[in-house]
A and B are shown apart, each in its own frame.
Chain A
């Protein structure tokens, strides 16, 4: 069937009043759970599965898609306002977003993230509709060696971006890499650094680390500074909405973020973390206002948020075309499909086009609804910042603890949260950047297992890393990114000498 005709038919399905209602419930629930750290979209879909058992398949899948997109929106709200990323994908947003909020620019930060998410979600959904079959061929050819090379690019670009001193940035990164080693080794099944504690066998939960470092650490730090000089928070300084300048600085990061998010999200082991951080470091390099980065630059919010939402659409590519769930939420949606006796995969497009295109069409609708739902809320959200600091931070601590318990009810998990909180406090106190720790925890284990997989497949021959054209290209990019700053600095010195 012609794609346009199919999409038009899908729109007709999704526009039915009942399906619109499901989409609305979905985005609402999704936004709500995205705001709570720890309770992600995956858990929500899991809890709703038995409830939706009696609904028709189309309606409930549309609702799940709404939850998925809504969760992505909600996570960024808390990341910006209270420096508590609801899930790992909104970590990059917290970096600049929270600084903006503290400087009284929470309104524009929330607005650029909402509009950026809308733009990216829409473009990526178009990509899903038209490119899915082609993209999936590419994604499947991406082997372990290619993933490893992609991780190298991410490591180099991301770690070079953080902190003023490379030594401090690298120290943080290595703390993260070490934390990434904790747990059962994926390839041999042996426990590493678990010290006989069963809860540690699954490794350190990314959200626990992120919430501990960002939110708890921040609360402790603010508490420790109170007697010195009270930090004055202004909820709103200047316009609540984006100024013309904000728009001008936001649209390019939105598009670039989409370009990172969608293809990487479509990779079976891509995820949302890598594109968001890649987008962050790209914007930091390309910006005309480098002095604002670290103090609240709008590009650093616009790019990662767009990447985040685009990757959410990207993960639907392997899910719908291969039946390959690449995120926890996608896995739950797969379970949802199976509940109705549907098997996503190459046959789904042929067997149930009404369902697939209805779902894709409802993604457009969910996106529009989220924008309508979120923009008016911006004014309400920034009021949060007017709460007196002791109350606000006490609330954040309660919030962070609740979220962690909800995700994993165990004493060990809470102790880890507290320990990471203290670590976050110390790192702030002694001026070590925090983000590289989280990046190390996320990327380290992926890079390790992909490299070892590649070597196991090649029977130990390291040349496999250069034989794949994709991997060779990516490694080349990583090398250039690593050396370029030194070369450029050398050239600069050379020129300076000539004068």
Chain B
């Protein structure tokens, strides 16, 4: 009943937008799902979008709902089943969801949603404690090649972006990714303590999480996963050190399945307008997120490739049984 009313409302909005152009976009009333508990990266992305969409005058109101659980598996299931065909709903997601869905054998997949746009990305870093004998990414590569089991990597949850990156690193330097000794910690904080305390060989995380420690000289960054050097950051990329490891922890926004091409266009346009607004740029600066806007079919393509790559890696480390 509610959803049919919503659908009707969505159709009316689409009609209005179609008929009277940009002015009607003001009437957009969006529901935005963060498939995670308040406070995490997806929640912050959703709330930032809420802020920017309203501030930029793209939407009249945006309501954020949190549906936490299992790396987004619970949220996406609810989204795909409950919001089908609703042109006023969107969901935030990202890299981690790809792995989580594969590992949880989720009946719902990212193939079912309608891709809208990639919004941000965060570059990953590998660090060692300041007193570690490893100085460069090549040193670490040599250690991994010598005896992969003895090199312990600390990072976030199993199957997440840090874990995938450890496996990709091992693969890129020609070691057997199946044998990596990856030690998952809950949340970024706990792993930091293990690295600073010298309990593990190296740590993997998003750059912003360790930036303070790197600047303070407590951690040494061995390499970044960006394709080129980041402006203002004095850390070499893996690529320039001869290791083919390019990866980013991206976040994106998707729409429900079964929406019309018109509805999709309305949402895509709204997001594009938001991304170009000053409010959004201001938020990115504050949060230290990198703008990685990629819309339309290019994003759909990108998503497909990432799903294939992550699933492949997770299979290779035995987290997903084929």
**Chain A residues in contact with chain B, CB under 8 A?**
42-43, 45-47, 49-50, 53, 139-144, 184-191, 198-199, 201-202, 268-269, 318, 322-326, 328, 331-332, 335, 338-341, 343-348, 408-410, 453, 456-457, 459
Contacts and interface: CB of A to CB of B under 8 A. Distances in A.
Nearest to A45: B39
A266 to B, nearest CB: 11
Nearest to A446: B186
Contact of A184 (B104, B185, B216): B104
Given A339-B286, A457-B152, A346 B216 contact: yes
22 contacts: A43-B38, A46-B38, A142-B197, A144-B199, A184-B158, A186-B184, A187-B158, A189-B103, A198-B74, A318-B193, A323-B189, A325-B189, A326-B190, A328-B39, A331-B189, A332-B38, A338-B288, A341-B285, A344-B212, A348-B212, A408-B69, A459-B181
Contact of B73 (A201, A331, A341): A201
Given A42-B39, A50-B50, A268-B190, A190 B103 contact: yes
A386 B194 CA distance: 52
Interface string B122-146: 0000000000000000000000000
A184 B286 CA distance: 34
B184 A187 contact: yes
B51 to A, nearest CB: 6
A191 B104 contact: yes
Contact of B183 (A325, A344, A409, A453): A453
7 A-B pairs closest in CB distance: A345-B212, A46-B38, A189-B158, A201-B70, A324-B189, A346-B216, A268-B193
Contact of A144 (B47, B106, B158, B194): B194
A331 B39 CA distance: 7
Interface residues of B, number: 53
Interface string B162-188: 010000000000000000010111110
B47 A346 contact: no
Contact of B39 (A144, A201, A332): A332
A188 B189 CA distance: 19
Chain B binding surface, main DSSP class: helix
B215 interface: yes
A198 B73 contact: yes
Nearest to A330: B189
Nearest to A188: B158
A456 B183 contact: yes
A410 B66 CA distance: 11
B77 interface: yes
A456 B179 CA distance: 12
Interface string B185-208: 111011011101101100000001
Contact of A198 (B77, B158, B213): B77
A202 B103 contact: no
Interface of B: 37-39, 43-44, 47, 50-51, 67-70, 73-74, 77, 103-104, 106, 149-150, 152, 157-159, 163, 181, 183-187, 189-190, 192-194, 196-197, 199-200, 208-209, 211-213, 215-216, 218, 285-288, 319
Contacts of A346: 212-213, 216, 218
A459 B194 CA distance: 16
A346 B77 CA distance: 41
A186 B106 contact: no
Contact of A50 (B47, B208, B286, B288): B47
A47 B64 CA distance: 10
Contact of B197 (A45, A46, A47, A143): A143
Contact of B190 (A43, A50, A269, A332): A269
Contacts of B208: 343
A42 B187 CA distance: 15
A140 B200 CA distance: 12
Given A201-B70, A202-B70, A335-B39, A326 B184 contact: no
A202 B158 CA distance: 13
Given A49-B47, A142-B193, A459-B150, A331 B288 contact: no
Nearest to B201: A457
B47 A456 contact: no
Contacts of A408: 68-69
Contacts of A332: 38-39
Nearest to A269: B190
Nearest to B75: A198
Contacts of B38: 42-43, 46-47, 332
A53 B31 CA distance: 21
A423 B153 CA distance: 42
B104 A199 contact: no
A166 B215 CA distance: 53
Nearest to B48: A50
Contacts of A340: 286
Contacts of B73: 198, 201
Give the residue among A139, A324, A409, A456 with the most B Cβ atoms within 10 A: A324
A385 B77 CA distance: 44
Contacts of B211: 343
A45 B163 CA distance: 30
Contacts of B106: 198
A201 B104 contact: yes
Given A268-B190, A324-B190, 11 more contacts: A43-B38, A189-B319, A269-B193, A328-B37, A331-B39, A338-B287, A338-B288, A344-B212, A345-B212, A459-B150, A459-B181
A143 B158 contact: no
Contacts of A43: 38
A201 to B, nearest CB: 4
Give the residue among A49, A140, A143, A341 with the most B Cβ atoms within 10 A: A140
Contacts of B181: 456, 459
Contacts of A190: 103, 319
A456 B152 contact: yes
Contact of A202 (B39, B44, B69, B319): B69
A341 B289 CA distance: 11
A167 B69 CA distance: 35
Contacts of A141: 197
Nearest to B41: A335
Contacts of B103: 184, 189-190
B157 A198 contact: no
A46 B43 contact: yes
A427 B187 CA distance: 35
A407 B162 CA distance: 28
Contacts of A42: 38-39
B70 A322 contact: no
A338 B208 CA distance: 10
A329 to B, nearest CB: 9
A198 B103 CA distance: 12
Nearest to B103: A189
Given A144-B199, A323-B212, A459 B104 contact: no
Given A46-B38, A268-B193, A459-B150, A201 B158 contact: no
A346 B130 CA distance: 14
B103 to A, nearest CB: 5
